[in-house]
Structure formats: C-alpha cells, structure tokens
C-alpha cells in the first residue's frame, strides 16, 4: 500500500473536467512509483495517460479511468484503462496516424501515446464509445 493506494485493486477516477485530467496524472504517477517503474518510464506513462485522459474528456465527452499495478510473473507494470460512451472513432487507422487531428492540437495524442507505452489496445465502435488499454512494464 502506497499513499493510500491498494495496488492490487484498480483505482477508478471519473474524467469530467480538466481538474480530473490532473487527478488522473497524479494517480498514474502514484501507482507507477509504487510499481517501481524508472523515472523515465513513469514520465512516459504519465504523459500517455494525460493525452488519453484529455481525449476521453474532449472527444468522448468524459468517461472513466482504471489504474492498477499488474504482474506477469516476470515483471511489474501499470495498466491504465480509459473508457467513454462517446461517439467512437469512425476511422481508427486514420486516427492512429502521426499528425492526424480533429481538433486544433498537434495530432500526437493516440499515436504518441501508443509509442510511449509497451502495450496499447483500442476498441471503438461508432455511436458506442471507446476503450483504450495501455500498459507500461518495468525494465
């Protein structure tokens, strides 16, 4: 148990405001430190989580994140699952292309987040929402 976080149980955080995006960053950092990720890997995971939390808020209309410490028997890591019931992503291949954006941003959100983590999975359906699961493993 670290800073009030039970690492064996996923910690759920609503994403409804910019303040919630900050709370997601803090929660991911806390679990990453407790999982003994290196400072570089902590930073990569927190950056990816920040991008994905912002996307959940802006494009998904808000949603939730679950953050948990995981262990595959060889190494520890942190798994972060973002879910929303928004409009979904109509063209996933296009959305994962570097430079693609539907907003005024740099277009690095999904593709950039994918590069920062070890495992990246996305399930989306138009009109039903999006679920993105990312995992960063200790080295």
30-59: burial string, b at 16+ Cβ within 10 Å, e else: bbbebbebeeebbebbbbbbbbbbbbbbbb
> pLDDT grade, residue 99 (50/70/90)?
confident
Q: Is the pLDDT of residue 6 over 70?
A: no
- Domains of the chain, first to last: 11-137 (3.30.565.10)
Q: Is the pLDDT of residue 106 over 80?
A: no
Q: What pLDDT sits at residue 3?
A: 42
User: What gap in Å lies between CA 109 and CA 52, rounded to an integer?
Assistant: 7
**Comparing C-alpha atoms, which of 110, 14, 129, 137 is closest to residue 55?**
110
Q: What pLDDT sits at residue 1?
A: 37
More confident residue, 73 or 78: 78
> pLDDT grade, residue 94 (50/70/90)?
confident
pLDDT over 90 percentage in the chain: 74
More confident residue, 122 or 108: 122
User: What gap in Å lies between CA 105 and CA 50, rounded to an integer?
Assistant: 14
Please report, to the nearest 10 degrees, the dihedral formed by the alpha carbons of residues 13, 19, 21, 25 taken in order. Answer: -80
**16-70: pLDDT as tens digits:** 999 999 999 999 999 999 999 999 999 999 999 999 999 999 999 999 999 999 9
* Average pLDDT of the segment spanning 91-98: 85
Q: What pLDDT sits at residue 93?
A: 87
Three-state DSSP state, 136 = strand
Instruction: Give just the sign of the alpha carbon dihedral 22, 81, 136, 75.
Output: positive
User: What gap in Å lies between CA 112 and CA 135, rounded to an integer?
Assistant: 14
Average pLDDT, the chain: 89
């Amino acid at each position: 148990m670290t800073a009030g976080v039970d690492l064996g149980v996923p910690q759920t955080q609503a994403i409804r405001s910019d303040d919630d995006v900050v709370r997601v960053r803090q929660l991911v950092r806390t679990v990453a430190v407790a999982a003994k990720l290196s400072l570089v890997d902590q930073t990569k995971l927190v950056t990816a989580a920040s991008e994905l939390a912002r996307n959940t808020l802006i494009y998904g209309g808000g949603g939730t994140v679950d953050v948990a410490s995981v262990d595959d028997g060889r190494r520890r890591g942190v798994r972060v699952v973002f879910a929303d019931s928004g409009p979904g992503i109509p063209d996933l291949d296009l959305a994962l292309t570097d430079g693609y954006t539907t907003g005024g941003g740099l277009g690095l959100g999904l593709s950039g987040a994918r590069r920062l983590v070890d495992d990246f999975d996305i399930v989306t359906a138009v009109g039903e929402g999006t679920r993105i699961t990312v995992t960063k493993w200790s080295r």
